[in-house]
Amino acid sequence: MNQFADTLKKHFLIPVVAIESLDNVVPLTQAFCDAGIKFLEITYRNENAGEALRILQKNNFDIIIGAGTIRTLAQAEEAIECGAKFLVSPGYNKEIIQFAAKKNIPFVPGVDSTLGIELAISEGFNLLKFFPAEISGGIKWLKSIKSPYPEIKFIPTGGITLENLSFYVKLANVVGVGGSFLAPKNLILDKKWDKIVLICKEAIKIVELDRERL
């Protein structure tokens, strides 16, 4: 497993956030830091992603910032230029794979089938995003895929909640999870930073307790 995966396995949680207002970037990230979150994924689901990354690049947060929903080479180029330390894609894009390799930046392509896994293996990947996790089989899919692909590790994203988080923590082939459940959109819009801190702390507690039981 590479260094990125090793670090993620230690901290496990990746808030996945679409920035609707740039005014929220700093206080939201501060809330994550206050809670003890060590990763953050800013998604390219609107036009604010690049500028949000630029804002974070100018601040000295103790958190690893990445860019998600990367679907084009232009987005990948902008994200790295704006300070992203890792890239995540919802699918499998060979052009972005090659670009990330040249830039020596961690890239996690998304898969939802054995076909995607085989393509990823052919490119030398052993860490993949499983998306959309819950509607694509969730825990059952990950358990069933472990035997034929024991070397592959996953970051399930999509449908993860505080209620089902513990089930993912217990899976040996899962090194982390991503999701908006750590900072629900309504809480961001209402600037409820204290509530986001509480949610993140609860998630961290779940991760720590379930690991103790393993």
What pLDDT does 211 receive? Answer: 75
The whole-number pLDDT of residue 76 equals 98
In the predicted model, what is the mean pLDDT of residues 125-142?
97
Is 41 strand, coil or helix? strand
Q: How would DSSP label each residue in 186-214? A: HHHHTT-HHHHHHHHHHHHHHHHHHHHH-
Output 60 or 63, whichever has higher pLDDT: 63
**Residue 60: per-residue pLDDT:** 87
pLDDT exceeds cutoff 90 at 105: yes
Indicate if the pLDDT at residue 46 is higher than 90: yes
pLDDT in tens, 152-211: 999 999 999 999 999 999 999 999 999 999 999 999 999 999 999 999 999 999 999 977
So which residues are the catalytic ones? Answer: 41, 129
Q: What is the pLDDT of residue 2?
A: 82
> Which residues on neighbouring strands pair with residue 39, listed in sequence order?
64
- CA atoms of 84 and 78, how far apart (whole Å): 9
**Residues 85-94, mean pLDDT to the nearest whole number:** 95
pLDDT in tens, 5-24: 999 999 999 999 999 999 99
* Rg (alpha carbons) of the chain, rounded to whole number: 16
Q: Domains (ranges, CATH) in the chain? A: 3-110+174-213 (3.20.20.70)
Whole-number Å distance between alpha carbons of 188 and 96: 30
Share of the chain above pLDDT 90, in %: 96
Stated pTM of the model:
0.96
Per-residue pLDDT, averaged over 116-142, amounts to 96
Average pLDDT of the chain to the nearest whole number:
96
Assess whether pLDDT exceeds 90 at residue 65: yes
Say how many residues make up the chain: 214
